[in-house]
Structure 1
Amino acid sequence: MSVNAVAHLNFHGQARAALEFYQSVFDGQATIATYGDFGMPAESPDAAKVVFGQVVADNGFRVMAYDVPGADEPASKAAPSTRREHGTTITEEPFFLSVRGETVDEVGALWKRLADGATVIEDFGPAQWAPAFGMLSDRFGVTWILDVVAEYTPA
């Protein structure tokens, strides 16, 4: 048996825009279905919202997303509270999305695209544990860690 874990992001009216953005960042294929596609009446305020969406890229990237039906704003509008202090991450967020690649050039290109409209928490660059590391909160409020795999040298 084979299984994999895929992040499933929950939005409040922004799922389509987020999926289209992630498609452009990761050069993936987007699949988007709306509540209306599944039979919700067109006059419903949620009919055009995303009931199922995903982006799958040839490089292994995959993410899913949908819009929670109802209000277009999340219950809490507080900005993510993640910050870096003295080389450590301080946060109240329940999760981050991590993207790890093999080269600084490969991951750096993803960083540049994902950083468009983002709040940078820590600039992408060399780190003690990796050839490169960076952290940001994207334009949709999702916090990402991007890093380059360190070469493992057995002791």
Structure 2
Amino acid sequence: MQVQPYLFFDGRCDEAIAFYREVLGAEVTMLMRFRESPDPPPPGTLPPGFEEKVMHANLSFGDTQVMVSDGPCTGQPGFQGFALTASLSDVGEVERVFGALAEGGQVQMPLEKTFWSPRFGMLTDRFGVSWMVMAMPEE
């Protein structure tokens, strides 16, 4: 069994994909736009211009897969009750990733040393996705 997050970006998926590619080195392993669907949606179910939006995409972050989409478009994007965790081996890389994810977002807990990690911090990025960024403990 695999459990994978599926994030809906309410029309900003292309922007989110570009951001995560730049900041986290995400690799797009699959991307399909609504216009490419073999089964077109019933008339009137997509907002005008949504044909070019991302119907489904897979992002690879190392061994982790995250699925993303623009829809369903509700006008109220929100990611509540969970956080994605980026665990990195290098403190310098933790600082770079945390700073980049925080740009345009909101820091809940600045990076600091904790009893479980040399650097740990929490933030919500510009898309509303909550992140915990940490350096793996030294052994």
Greater RCO, 1 or 2 (C-alpha within 8 Å, sep 6+): 2
1:65 lines up with 2:68 in the alignment = yes
Q: CA deviation at 1:61?
A: 4.9
Aligned residues: 132
Residues 1-155 of structure 1 mapped to structure 2, 5 A cutoff: 3-30=1-28, 31-39=30-38, 40=40, 45=48, 46-57=50-61, 59-71=62-74, 73-74=75-76, 93-151=80-138
What stretches of structure 1 move > 6 A for 4+ residues in a row? none
Q: Which stretches in structure 1 are left out of the alignment for 5+ residues? A: 81-92
Residues 11 and 151 (structure 1 numbering): CA distance in 2 closer, same or farther, change over 3 Å? Answer: same
State the AA in 2 paired with 1:47: E
Q: Deviations over 1:85-131 (max 9, x none)?
A: xxxxxxxx321111111221222221122122111111112123210
Matched residues in 2 for 1:22 and 1:6: separation? 17
SS at match of 2:119: strand
TM-score by length of 2: 0.79
Matched residues in 2 for 1:101 and 1:70: separation? 33
Residues 61 and 114 (structure 1 numbering): CA distance in 2 closer, same or farther, change over 3 Å? Answer: farther
Bigger helix fraction: 2
Q: Which stretches in structure 2 are left out of the alignment for 5+ residues? A: none
TM-score by length of 1: 0.72
Superposed CA RMSD in Å reads 2.5
Q: Deviations over 1:56-107 (max 9, x none)?
A: 24x4454221122344x12x77xx7xxxxxxxxxxxx321111111221222
